[in-house]
Structure 1
Amino acid sequence: MQTSKDIQNLDNQSDTVGTKTATLTIDSLIEAQVAFMQQWLRTQAEPLAMGAWHWLGAQPMRNYVSCADLQHLLNDWLLSQPMSEVMRADIRDILHTTIYHPVNDNVPLSELVDDTQIDTLTTYIGSHEQQRNILIHSLIGNDTFADLLTQTLYHAINDFMETTLDKAGGVGKLMKLGRSSFEKATNRNLDEKLQAYLHRNIKDLTRRAETNAQEHLSNEEVTRLLITGWARIKDQPVSQLQKYLSDKPENNSIDHIEASVQQSFNRLRISPYLHSLVAAAVETWYNTHQSDSIATLALGLNVDTKAMEGLSTSLLPLAHDAIDSEWFTDHIREMLQAFYAQADIKNSLGFGIS
């Protein structure tokens, strides 16, 4: 005859078996659901991606991104740190490949720049008379140019006189004597006198040259000179530009150009000046586009539904690999285990323990 203790032991054993049965059933259910979800996601990956794009594309940007968010993104990500050495090396390699590519030997400059572009550019430059006159004045009418021209003429005259006097025999000696007498009588060095005379007259000459240049270089003349210059070089291959660069390891032009750009960027990226301009530019752009949908913004980059379909198809192998990956499988399993571990779910499924 069973005692109360025996009955209690049987009940405990029954509870234990029931618990094991429930656990095994739940684990089996979870594994079946994991497999089902992975299979379902594999077949639905592309329509899910397009559905997500259509939903996201309809959302206004301002619902998710603020002007301050964009400011932080640019300041903290782009401007707060210098470009990595890996990226700098990539830039140098790409520049070297494109500049020294063999195809440049067979492509004329005119394929890069159309004649109509040159016509428009030269007409634009030629029409800015005030700026052109300022440039001419800077080149010809300034004191530095006058001083340079004075020294050049002085050395030319002095060299001519010295050479001539040496070959003139007695006449040369007589002229040298006259020069010495002049310097004693006037208490001035003839060289200084000559330089002062040249400088005084050269300044007047440069003013005349500046006036003549401004009068001669009319809008039409400037345009004609630029178009003529382009006509002389437009049929040359793009590789002609390589003549102005050095590819020697100890003096590589690309390295110098890239380093110079980086130096300027590193100086500007921490300056209040650039931060002010970036802030103003972001604010202007955000105020213009904050009501636009994500799809409208993407369309500005020529990313439309057709482009997204192509991208979705291209990324399908990546999506399938991610769905089948161990980390994704474990994540689904943990999520389902947490779901079935809830007391009300267990009771609803008949796995509750009395």
Structure 2
Amino acid sequence: MTPAASTTSHQEGVNITINSLIEAQTAFIKHWLQQQAEPLATEAWQWLGAQSLNKYLNADDLTRLINDGILTQPMSDIMRSDVRDIMRTLIYHPANDNVPLSDLVDETQIVTLATYIGNYEQQRNILISTFIGNETFADLLTQTLYHAINDFMETTLDRAGGVGKLMKMGRSSFEKATNRNLDEKLQTYLHRNIKDLAQRAEANAQAHLSNEEVTRLLVTGWARIKDQPVSRLQEYLRETPEHSSIDHLEASLQQSYNRLRLSPYLHSLVAAVVDTWYSNHQFDSIAELAASLNLGPSASMALSTTMIPMLNDALESDWFTTHIKEMLSAFYAQPDIKEGLGLQEL
């Protein structure tokens, strides 16, 4: 055998030996990891839980993650569709027919909230003034009284026979003599005087709606509806092919979100909130942070157990096998490893 042939034969033997080692070690690594998957997952969680937050993250990292990773991108159409479907499922679920509103809100919560609202006299007076003491309320009251008076007059004149006809003639004569429509004259009169009436109504409301009265009204109002089923809320929604209240609600929320998510105002709030939270928890371990979310060791163990099948599938995948072989090939390709194992080329 020539030296060249001998060298080639020896090289083939070296390659076969290395390839055999790689195959055997790849199989061993995969089998060993599969056998140790559960304790490794548990130990990994334990190790992660012992690490301090500030070892890997700072406040700027979290702020950048929220601003650049979350707020920069609009909510995807798929996610928006999921939100609508979930809202629709929750609102129209059959269980709502058998669950009263009182099961969702405790009676003591209503009393506490009503008392809290009732004790804010200044804010209550401002609210009353906003609703009653403004031009919109005055205009609404003017139109309401005008229609009531006009309807009464028309009904009375129609039933009054000859007297009604005489009154209609008088109305016509008045309009010709003054060159003004009686309806317009009536509305002008009501609007001019209704402001004083609105001010009186505001004063009466503030005088009679005491703290105790407001509390009583709120508690009484809750008592009237607390036994109604949750599904009663569906009456305030429409769900037809032409009009969906849920679609409209989701679209409105999305519009507000898109308007705010890139605003300097929201970004400044995010930075302030992150700084506050981070200053409170920067020295906490990951386990302590998880515990604050009620994710204790039992929850971590349950999560680890759930992930075992996925981990096993990953170990059996082609990409994992390929990477193990590439890693081992690079290892054995090192000259000192070849020399140390007596696999050097001739």
Same fold (TM over 0.5): yes
CA deviation profile, 1:219-272 (whole Å, cap 9, x unmatched): 111111111111111111111111111121111111111111111111111222
CA deviation profile, 1:169-205 (whole Å, cap 9, x unmatched): 6766776787788789989876666545433433222
CA gap of 1:336–1:201, structure 2 versus 1, over 3 A, is same
Distance 1:32 1:318 in 2: 24
CA gap of 1:326–1:189, structure 2 versus 1, over 3 A, is closer
Cα shift at 1:55: 1.6
CA deviation profile, 1:116-143 (whole Å, cap 9, x unmatched): 1111111111111111111111222223
CA gap of 1:258–1:174, structure 2 versus 1, over 3 A, is closer
Is residue 67 from structure 1 mapped to residue 59 from structure 2 by the alignment? yes
Distance 1:179 1:329 in 2: 99
From 256, 269, 283, the equivalent of 1:264 is 256
Distance 1:250 1:286 in 2: 48
Distance 2:319 2:171 in 1: 100
Distance 2:64 2:94 in 1: 43
Residue 110 of structure 1 aligns with which residue? 102
CA gap of 1:185–1:96, structure 2 versus 1, over 3 A, is closer
Cα shift at 1:34: 0.9
Give the stretch that moved more between structures: 152-161 or 105-114: 152-161
From 329, 335, 339, the equivalent of 2:327 is 335
Distance 1:188 1:13 in 2: 123
Residue 226 of structure 1 aligns with which residue? 218
Give the stretch that moved more between structures: 156-165 or 123-132: 156-165
Give the stretch that moved more between structures: 15-24 or 187-196: 187-196
Residue 18 of structure 1 aligns with which residue? 10
Q: Which runs of 5+ in 2 are unaligned?
A: none
What TM-score, normalized to structure 2? 0.90
Give the stretch that moved more between structures: 184-193 or 207-216: 184-193
Secondary structure in structure 1 of the residue aligned to 2:314: helix
**Aligned residue-pair number:** 346
Distance 1:115 1:342 in 2: 75
Residue 193 of structure 2 aligns with which residue? 201
Give the stretch that moved more between structures: 159-168 or 170-179: 170-179
Residue 90 of structure 2 aligns with which residue? 98
- Once the two structures are superposed, the pairs formed by residues 210-221 of structure 1 within 5 Å of their partners are 210-221=202-213
CA gap of 1:164–1:306, structure 2 versus 1, over 3 A, is closer
- Once the two structures are superposed, the pairs formed by residues 302-317 of structure 1 within 5 Å of their partners are 302-317=294-309
From 31, 40, 44, the equivalent of 1:48 is 40
Q: Give the counterpart letter for 1:317 in structure 2.
A: P
Cα shift at 1:147: 2.8
Cα shift at 1:86: 0.9
Cα shift at 1:25: 1.6
CA deviation profile, 1:44-68 (whole Å, cap 9, x unmatched): 1111122222222122212211222
Secondary structure in structure 2 of the residue aligned to 1:284: helix
Is residue 275 from structure 1 mapped to residue 267 from structure 2 by the alignment? yes
Q: Give the counterpart letter for 2:127 in structure 1.
A: L
CA deviation profile, 1:134-167 (whole Å, cap 9, x unmatched): 1111222223222332333234334444554565
Q: Which runs of 5+ in 1 are unaligned?
A: 1-8
